[in-house]
Amino acid sequence: GAVVSQHPSWVICKSGTSVKIECRSLDFQATTMFWYRQFPKQSLMLMATSNEGSKATYEQGVEKDKFLINHASLTLSTLTVTSAHPEDSSFYICSAPAGGRTYEQYFGPGTRLTVT
Amino acid sequence: GEDVEQSLFLSVREGDSSVINCTYTDSSSTYLYWYKQEPGAGLQLLTYIFSNMDMKQDQRLTVLLNKKDKHLSLRIADTQTGDSAIYFCAESNKTRAGNMLTFGGGTRLMVKP
Quick one: which of A36, A28, A34, A101 has its CA closest to A71? Answer: A34
A34 closest CB neighbour out of B31, B44, B100: B100
Cα of A106 to nearest chain B Cα, Å: 7
What is the per-residue pLDDT for B101?
84
Give contacts of B50 with chain A, Cβ < 8 Å.
103
Task: Answer for the pair B98, B47: CB distance below 8 angstroms, yes or no.
Answer: no
Quick one: which of B84, B72, B86, B68 has its CA closest to B32? Answer: B72
pLDDT for B31-87, tens place per residue? 899 999 998 888 999 999 998 999 999 999 999 999 999 999 999 999 999 999 999
Residue A72: which pLDDT band, with cuts at 50, 70 and 90? confident
pLDDT for A78-101, tens place per residue? 999 999 999 999 999 999 987 666
Which residue is closest to A92 within chain B, CA to CA?
Answer: B42
Q: What letter does residue A31 receive in the DSSP assignment?
A: S
Residue A33: which pLDDT band, with cuts at 50, 70 and 90? very high
Which residue is closest to A91 within chain B, CA to CA?
Answer: B40
Task: Answer for the pair A42, A36: CB distance below 8 angstroms, yes or no.
Answer: no
For chain A, helix, strand, coil in percent to 5 are: 5, 55, 40
**Concatenated DSSP letters for B68-82?**
TTTEEEEEESS--GG
Please tell me the distance from the alpha carbon of residue A49 to that of residue A96, in angstroms, as a whole number: 10
* Percent of chain A predicted with pLDDT > 90: 72
Q: What letter does residue A99 receive in the DSSP assignment?
A: T
What is the per-residue pLDDT for A23?
97
Is A107's CB within 8 Å of B42's CB?
A: yes
Mutate to test the interface with B, among A103, A106, A114 (most CBs of B within 10 A): A103
What is the per-residue pLDDT for B94?
66
Quick one: which of A112, A2, A115 has its CA closest to A66? Answer: A115
In A11-116, alpha helices (H): none
What is the per-residue pLDDT for B27?
81
CA distances from B54 to B27, B43, B73 (A): 15, 24, 11
Which residue is closest to B38 within chain A, CA to CA?
Answer: A109
Whether the per-residue pLDDT at B98 is higher than 80: the answer is no
Is A43's CB within 8 Å of B40's CB?
A: no
Residue A27: which pLDDT band, with cuts at 50, 70 and 90? confident
What is the per-residue pLDDT for A5?
95
